[in-house]
Amino acid sequence: MIFVPLALGVALGLAGVIPEKLAPWAGRIAMAGLAVLLFTMGAGIGTDGQLLDNLPVMGTQALILALAAAGGSIVLVWLWERLLSRRGEK
């Protein structure tokens, strides 16, 4: 359900429904929407007492997960680059 607005935006853009003069503003509009989204998420977190009580445990787990994801991505990109560079040498 979360991808429906994205798909709708792509479809409207491809169909030419969105005016060309709006295109240069798309990035700014997206950033404003993202800022509103992050603000509302922060407000929701700040008002949820149970979540705040569990934040130290969840924060540590989230940090470990984020570091593992970033590290795994770096390793996979490094391996992919090595594979591509070897293919280019042949």
User: Tell me: the pLDDT tens digits for 14-34?
Assistant: 999 988 888 889 889 999 999
- pLDDT tens digits, one per residue of 61-78: 999 999 999 999 999 999
Cα 46 from Cα 58, distance rounded (Å): 15
Could you tell me the residue range of the domain that residue 12 belongs to? Answer: 1-47
Q: Are residues 73 and 61 in the same domain?
A: yes
% of residues, the chain, pLDDT over 90: 58
Residue 33 shares a structural domain with residue 66: no
- 28 plus 42 within the same structural domain: yes
The answer to whether the beta carbons of residues 51 and 45 sit under 8 Å apart is yes
Where is 77: in which H helix or E strand?
A: helix 49-89
Total domain count for the chain? Answer: 2
